[in-house]
């Protein structure tokens, strides 16, 4: 398999020959041209990963070729070859957008390393473009944080695959949205997407839900019923909270994944299906395997590709955009004017822990749309329980906080740690700051006063501690 496709344009046939032999020897496809005009014609049909061009050629020279390419294909890395003495031309090449220049005479290994770096750069640009395209094509999944960009990249890489996927993430992080996106951007997009939550179904009904049943299979089975596997045939079956699946059903699921067929409850004829499995859980399946609550062979069958969905507290930069999105959606559902966030409210929301993740934020936005009195949501509009700080209760046997701090310092010093103040002070200030803001319901001026700071100091500390 080729590592990339490089075009070389030079009126010197010996240069073309050397570069072509060098590149093809390391599985880089190489196409050569004797003049720039031929390159421009070829670009109407296809685009390489990298173009290597001499600077001085009859007709259109390398700089003019670079200008034209940079106008129409700015993402294409162009390496300009130039003589050692031609410094002005090298500077001009950079100014016109060249990726790099290659001085003549060049070392073959250096030339190869430069071309490989340009190919890697081009492929990274393609991945980023694919991620942006996928993000815009999946508008219900909002995420600019690096951890969410990794999720988009994973969906993009799997877009031509029907391989099993395991989605991990806390409750409320949006695992089903990701499963939907995996289906929509797969070869199975035109086929059914069927979702089933293992935790929401009584254990004695799970088998029938998954595999269906024949008439008379059990009391109440008055007709033949298709299970979710049959309904999802050709498409995707999303098994949410797979960690809650009973062991006997895990055994049946493993057999279906291995054989591609199953029997309905009470049935005697095998039913063949072609189904992609996307499973999700908030639990640590490896721990469940260790405890004997989840089959190890099924875990390995499902865990071919794993996508980790970050908790909302791990993607705080997305909170403001998500809040705006949910406020607009809530206003549309309730047929009212959408509310906006006061800057102080936005800061408070960005600092909260959000144990219920995106689902909790969405529900809070619905609550605020109904309950906030004005068009702008103030800190005082937030529900009290949202602002409650975790309380640490000390019993009579506990050390006071100074003694606990002293104990921590002794342990840290004993273990060879340094710069203890740099570790402790930000935590100390953050705890006091959050307590003050909670006490004053988010009013910065009042919080600064109870802390003994000026408002500017509090604003600066917010940026330092939460940026």
Report, as an integer, the average pLDDT of 34-62.
Answer: 91
Cis peptide before 105 (omega within 30 of 0): yes
Spatial separation of the C-alpha atoms in residues 321 and 280, rounded to whole Å: 25
pLDDT tens-digit readout, 87-118: 566 667 777 788 888 888 888 998 999 999 99
Identify the pLDDT of residue 132: 55
**Beta pairing class for 271-272 and 261-262:** antiparallel
Q: Which domains are present in the chain? A: 5-128 (3.40.50.2300), 146-308 (3.40.50.300), 313-387 (1.10.8.60), 401-466 (1.10.10.60)
| pLDDT bucket at 331, cuts 50 / 70 / 90 | very high
Quick one: DSSP state of residue 72? H
Spatial separation of the C-alpha atoms in residues 362 and 354, rounded to whole Å: 11
The DSSP string of 179-242 is HHHHHHTSTTTTS-EEEEEGGGS-HHHHHHHHH-B-TTSSTT--S-B--HHHHTTTSEEEEETG
pLDDT value at 84 more than 70: no
User: In the block, which residue shows the tokens 């997305």?
Assistant: 318
Report, as an integer, the average pLDDT of 178-194.
Answer: 91
Give pTM, 2 decimals: 0.57
| pLDDT bucket at 338, cuts 50 / 70 / 90 | very high
Average pLDDT, the chain: 85
Q: What 3-state DSSP class applies to 107?
A: coil
Which range (43-57, 131-145, 154-168, 338-352) has the least confidence? 131-145
pLDDT value at 423 more than 80: no
Which range (107-116, 235-244, 249-258, 425-434) has the least confidence? 425-434
The alpha carbons of the chain give a radius of gyration, in whole angstroms, of: 30
- Contact criterion met (CB below 8 Å) for 433 and 462: yes
- Contact criterion met (CB below 8 Å) for 361 and 312: yes
pLDDT tens-digit readout, 360-407: 999 999 999 999 988 999 998 998 888 764 333 334 344 466 767 777
Sequence-ordered list of residues with C-beta below 8 angstroms from that of 214, at least 6 positions apart, any chain: 221, 224, 264, 265, 266, 267
pLDDT tens-digit readout, 266-277: 888 899 999 999
């Amino acid at each position: 398999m080729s590592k990339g496709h490089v075009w070389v344009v030079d009126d010197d046939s010996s240069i073309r020959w050397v570069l072509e032999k060098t590149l093809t020897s390391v599985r880089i496809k190489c196409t050569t041209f004797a003049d720039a005009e031929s390159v421009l014609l070829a670009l109407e049909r296809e685009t390489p990963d990298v173009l290597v061009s001499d600077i001085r050629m009859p007709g259109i020279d390398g700089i003019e070729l670079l200008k034209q390419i940079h106008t129409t294909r700015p993402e294409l890395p162009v390496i300009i070859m130039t003589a050692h003495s031609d410094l002005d031309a090298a500077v001009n090449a950079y100014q016109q957008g060249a990726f790099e220049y290659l001085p003549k005479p060049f070392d073959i290994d250096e030339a190869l390393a430069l071309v490989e770096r340009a190919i890697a750069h081009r492929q990274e640009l393609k991945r980023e473009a694919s991620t942006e395209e996928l993000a815009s094509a999946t508008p219900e999944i909002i995420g600019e944080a690096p951890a969410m960009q990794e999720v988009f990249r994973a969906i993009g890489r799997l877009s031509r695959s029907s391989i099993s996927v395991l989605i991990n993430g806390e409750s409320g992080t949006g695992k089903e949205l990701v499963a939907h996106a995996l289906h929509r951007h797969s070869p199975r997009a035109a086929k059914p997407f069927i979702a089933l939550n293992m935790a929401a179904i009584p254990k004695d009904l799970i088998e029938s839900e998954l595999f269906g049943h024949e008439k008379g299979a059990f009391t109440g089975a008055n007709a033949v019923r298709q299970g979710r596997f049959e309904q999802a045939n050709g498409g995707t079956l999303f098994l949410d909270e797979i960690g809650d699946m009973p062991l006997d059903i895990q055994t049946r699921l493993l057999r279906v994944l291995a054989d591609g067929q199953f029997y309905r409850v009470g049935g005697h004829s095998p039913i063949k299906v072609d189904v992609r499995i996307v499973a999700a859980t908030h639990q640590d399946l490896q721990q469940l395997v260790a405890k004997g609550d989840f089959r190890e062979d099924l875990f390995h069958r499902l865990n071919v590709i794993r996508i980790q969905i970050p908790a909302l507290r791990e993607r705080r930069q997305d909170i403001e955009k998500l809040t705006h999105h949910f406020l607009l959606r809530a206003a549309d559902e309730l047929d009212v004017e959408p509310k906006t966030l006061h800057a102080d409210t936005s800061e408070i929301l960005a600092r909260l822990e959000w144990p219920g993740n995106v689902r909790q934020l969405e529900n809070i936005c619905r609550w605020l749309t109904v309950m906030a009195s004005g068009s702008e949501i103030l800190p005082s509009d937030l529900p009290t329980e949202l602002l409650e700080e975790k309380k640490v209760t000390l019993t009579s046997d506990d050390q006071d906080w100074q003694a606990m701090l002293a104990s921590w310092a002794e342990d840290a010093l004993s273990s060879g740690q340094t710069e203890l103040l740099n570790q402790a002070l930000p935590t100390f200030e953050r705890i006091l700051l959050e307590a003050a803001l909670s006490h004053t319901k988010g009013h910065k001026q009042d919080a600064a006063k109870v802390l003994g700071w000026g408002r500017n100091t509090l604003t600066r500390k917010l940026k330092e501690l939460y940026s």
